Amino acid sequence: MSVPFTTWPWQHWAAERPDAVAIRLPDQSITWATLSSQIEIYAQGLLEQGIKRDQLVAAIAPNGLPLLGLLLATMRVGARFVALNPRASAPELQAQLAQLDCDAIWYPEGSDPLSAETLAEPVSSMLRLHLQPAEQPRLVPVTWQPSRAVTLTLTSGSTGTPKAVVHSGLTHLASAAGLLAWLPFEQEDSWLLSLPLFHISGMAIVWRWLYRGAEIVVCAPDQMETLLMQVTHASLVPTQLQRVLDSDAVASLDLKQVLLGGAMIPVSLTDAARERGIECWCGYGMTEMASTVTAKRANASAGVGAVLPHREVMLQDGEVWVKGETLCLGYYRNKTVFPVSEQAWFATKDLGHWQDEELHITGRADNMFISGGENVQPEDIERVLLAHPQISQAFVLPIDDAEFGQRPVAIVSVSAESTPYREQLVAYMQTQVAAYRRPVAYYLLPQDVAGGIKVSRAQLAQWLAQDR
């Protein structure tokens, strides 16, 4: 990909279309010209507080203008930005900050995500940043160098210990360019920042906006449903779309495209959306590849589409390997960026196959377990459960068993909990899958695990072992 900008993307758009709206908020619009000058002033504010090139700035806040502004101002001074989940507990956040060895931390005035009185070293001596305009404006002596590291994004993967994935402006822009070569997103369109900036799916929205010079719509998480009615584009995980379809808001939507991803996307869901006039795109991607790798307009097939420009996909022994211009610079450890692998290819641990030039994802290699000598792939059973009209979410996990080694149990969300869902599911599964793949127990998905964008299997396993 040839680099599309010779200067910071917002400065490019401020020169090209100064009066066009860049950011829309529930009560205010900001043009590219205003945005660009504000970023200068806030970037100078960071310099005054001592932030330097290559330092790491951590932010703990829900999506909103301050968080987005800090991301842009941090990049502007040549520092690196990492957003952390504001819903994580204080000990979790402190552990992440310590592991990242951050130079500075920002969180909104009035919030106390780290529980200040329990702050311990090294976090207690990290610089506490304020989002403030410069007192004595001066030039920010950092130029746009697209291959420099700009963001870190935590991804938990299968191990549970999050890895910090480093991307440059170039890897992010290559991701945006490739998706937008297929998915129409024009300058008069608006993309809702509908997923958190601490996840690659939220970060990718920012770079599509910067790449196109279109409009981004930013709101607090509790205003999302209202603002969905005022945008042309949104990225959603399948459960979010299900919630939208179940709500009254669906009647007044003006959405042109919804990009889905992050988990298996049931065809029944995209069919139901189309019936309400919402066109869906299905994507498959991961943090290491700056979000989407394959995509397609939703259709009758359960596949995840073909490989987007600037990426490559290869299957080896049934596992998906990826590479390309969107591949991250590496993982961040001990203030150093380590390449994700020795080769150019990254092993996703996802299992897949090609069918009619389309990639199909069948599950993750590391979710497989053995029951009575037979291989059980949980996602195969989950797909059958999800085809049941009452089930909106399904997870299958192993529990230890003296006779079989391990056996599957199912954790589900059902549409009407009052009905005797267990009996129905037992009868249904008897007609659908072989005995060794039938769950030996059914549980309802606990609310505290269901929140957030992705249900963690590690957390579900812990819940099964302790709290059930």
Given the rule CB under 6 A, which residues bind ligand 4YB? Answer: 155, 200-201, 204, 235-237, 259-265, 283-287, 291-292, 304, 348, 350, 361, 364
Q: Which residue is nearest to ligand 4YB (CB)?
A: 261
Whole-Å CA distances, 264 to 195, 229, 261, 315, 455: 17, 25, 7, 19, 12
- Least spacing, CB of residue 290 vs ligand 4YB, in Å: 8
- Least spacing, CB of residue 438 vs ligand 4YB, in Å: 23
What amino acid is encoded at 239 in this protein? T
Distance CA 352, CA 315 (A): 7
Give bridge partners of residue 408 from the DSSP assignment. 398
Residue 332's closest CA among 43, 53, 54?
54
Cβ nearer to ligand 4YB, comparing 8 with 207: 207
- Least spacing, CB of residue 118 vs ligand 4YB, in Å: 29
- Least spacing, CB of residue 98 vs ligand 4YB, in Å: 23
Cβ nearer to ligand 4YB, comparing 46 with 170: 170
Cβ nearer to ligand 4YB, comparing 80 with 208: 208
In a 3-state reduction of DSSP, which class is residue 136?
A: coil
- Least spacing, CB of residue 78 vs ligand 4YB, in Å: 26
- Least spacing, CB of residue 43 vs ligand 4YB, in Å: 27
What residues contact 9, with CB distance under 8 A and at least 6 apart? Answer: 169, 173, 210, 211, 213
Residue 303's closest CA among 346, 360, 348?
360
Distance CA 209, CA 225 (A): 20
Cβ nearer to ligand 4YB, comparing 169 with 196: 196
β-strands 346-355, 358-364: how paired? antiparallel
- Least spacing, CB of residue 312 vs ligand 4YB, in Å: 16
What amino acid is encoded at 66 in this protein? P
Cβ nearer to ligand 4YB, comparing 69 with 261: 261
User: Any idea what DSSP says for residue 122?
Assistant: T
- Contact predicate 216/206, CB 8 Å: yes
User: What's the token pair of residue 164?
Assistant: 């910090």
- Least spacing, CB of residue 365 vs ligand 4YB, in Å: 10
| CA end-to-end distance (rounded Å), the chain | 51
- Least spacing, CB of residue 251 vs ligand 4YB, in Å: 23
Cβ nearer to ligand 4YB, comparing 11 with 242: 242
Cβ nearer to ligand 4YB, comparing 169 with 285: 285
Cβ nearer to ligand 4YB, comparing 103 with 382: 382
What residues contact 32, with CB distance under 8 A and at least 6 apart? Answer: 10, 13, 14, 16, 17, 18, 19, 20, 22, 213
- Least spacing, CB of residue 153 vs ligand 4YB, in Å: 8
User: Any idea what DSSP says for residue 156?
Assistant: -
- Contact predicate 197/237, CB 8 Å: no
Cβ nearer to ligand 4YB, comparing 55 with 326: 326
Whole-Å CA distances, 218 to 204, 336, 435: 14, 33, 49
Counts for the chain of helices (H) and strands (E), in that order: 13, 26
